[in-house]
Amino acid sequence: MNYKDGKWAKEILDSQLPNGSWGYFHTLTKITSKHPIATEQALRRLEILGFTIYDKPIQKAIKYLQNCLIGKEDIPDRKEKQLDWFKFRDLMISTWIKRFVPDDKRANDLSKKWAEIINGSFKNNEFNQNQFNLLFYRVLNYDVKKKTIRLMTFYPISLVTNNLSKEVETIFFNHIMNYNQGITYFGYGNKPIRILPQHFESSETVAYIRLIELLTDYKSNECIEQLLFVKDWIEANRINSNEWDMGKLSNDGIYFPLSDSWKLKENRIKDCSYKINKLLEYFK
């Protein structure tokens, strides 16, 4: 199904700036009519709509982000004082570059550093926060006066894929699955991934599916097995042999809608079914 020519994509592409960005990178509090979407939000939405590095708008955006990493450009967001801002900025930018260009050298250089930290932070299959802190400051040359960056967030989890040792990948994935405070960035609340949404037709389900899609970047058999309960839950919520409906509240403006309009229920079902069927491909 092709959603790249629809009105949602056109709205985003029409607001892309000449330098490849959409203004602020991830600051949503300063969104204006002139800059109606942040760069990170635009990239996330375009990725969901099916855009890849083979599309010129993505090429333009990634070139901008690559220039930010080497100091030719910078993101205009307010510098957060509690964090080593430039290290945090590079983490966010590298994560999005790597999502579209998995072999980008600079993004992978940072990915390998984070993988080194994670590889050394598990002792006897348990996460050791003190060891993580020690490696974090040393490997990243992070300002010791600043707070560490949380491990259980979208950025590190996405960035380190394909750079962890096989043994640690399984241990890390198990840690993610059982982390009881929730993975930030997805809006699923402070609860473990193993707790399923209470109602399938809900905004909660959309947040949950977005989170599970992130985890499907981990493709070892051990990781797939840990997510089989999600497959069972999805299959139990079919409305017929090959269709699903997450309901009206699933329209969050980022993950859905894909079709130009949801005035017709059949369009909503088509969009929901498309995303679910793509997710189920992970288990084949």
Q: Domain end: 55, 78, 101, which one? A: 78
User: How high is the mean pLDDT of the chain?
Assistant: 94
Residues whose CB is less than 8 angstroms from the CB of residue 55 and which lie 6 or more positions away in sequence, other chains included: 4, 46
Burial class (CB in 10 A: 0-12, 13-18, 19+), 53: middle
Q: What is the mean pLDDT of each run of 10 residues along the chain (284 residues)?
A: 94 96 85 81 96 98 98 94 96 98 97 97 92 97 96 96 92 94 81 93 95 95 96 96 95 95 97 97 94
User: For the chain, how big is the Rg over CA atoms in Å?
Assistant: 19
Number of domains in the chain: 2
pLDDT tens digits for range 266-281: 999 999 999 999 999 9
Name which of 27, 17, 161 is nearest 89 in CA terms.
27
Q: Among 52, 78, 104, where does a domain finish?
A: 78
Decide if 136 is inside a domain. Answer: no
| Domain assignment of residue 216, given as a range | 168-284
The pLDDT value recorded for residue 181 is 87
Of 13, 47, 78, the residue at which a domain comes to its end is 78
178 domain residue, yes or no: yes
Q: Is residue 105 part of a domain?
A: no
pLDDT at 231 (0 to 100): 98
Q: What is the pLDDT of residues 34-47, one digit of tens each?
A: 778 999 999 999 99
Report if residue 89 sits inside a domain: no
